[in-house]
Amino acid sequence: MCLRSYYNRFLTRKFSSFTWAIVTGIGFLGAGALIKNADKIFGFTNATSIWIFSIIGLLIGIGEYKEAMVTYTIVWVVISFDVYLESKGIGNYNKKIMIKTKRIVNKSKIISLFKERKWKLLDLSIDKKEKKIIS
């Protein structure tokens, strides 16, 4: 019998419940990283980071250094590609802006301004008391 297969069977029996306990705990940490707003959920990147770096830690902990390095490299390639896409304006990167004015601005003027720049306006509210536009 190969030493590696004996090691894997021993590892599976001995550390199986311990590994599942870690995975369960990481699941709760990942769920805690998610933030729900009125219309959107934020924090997926944080939750994913918690998960992936926990998996890398588990791989290192059980001695699978090569797999941990491959996983780490893949993570950095994906992050670099995401940063590249964000710099080109590709993807779903929404920003909340608040515009304060000294006078009330017509809603249609704001909408036309966004259309000119090919920006997508998700929501527009005007606070007449505070004289500010929230989009």
Q: Which of 91, 129, 135, 85 is nearest to 109 (CA)?
A: 135
Q: Quick one: pLDDT at residue 16?
A: 67
* Same-domain check for residues 22 and 83: yes
Q: Quick one: pLDDT at residue 72?
A: 93
Q: Quick one: pLDDT at residue 11?
A: 58
pTM for this predicted structure: 0.55
* Same-domain check for residues 68 and 107: no
- Total tally of structural domains belonging to the chain: 2
Buried b (16+ CB within 10 A) or exposed e, 19-39: eeebeeebeeebeebeeeeee
* Same-domain check for residues 105 and 80: no
* Same-domain check for residues 21 and 46: yes
3-class DSSP state of 39: coil
Does any domain span residue 92?
no
* Same-domain check for residues 15 and 67: yes
Q: Quick one: pLDDT at residue 93?
A: 63
Q: Where are the alpha helices (DSSP H) in 34-64?
A: 44-61
Q: Quick one: pLDDT at residue 73?
A: 95
Which segments of the chain have a pLDDT < 70? Answer: 1-17, 38-39, 89, 91-95, 127-135
Structural domain range at position 7: 3-87
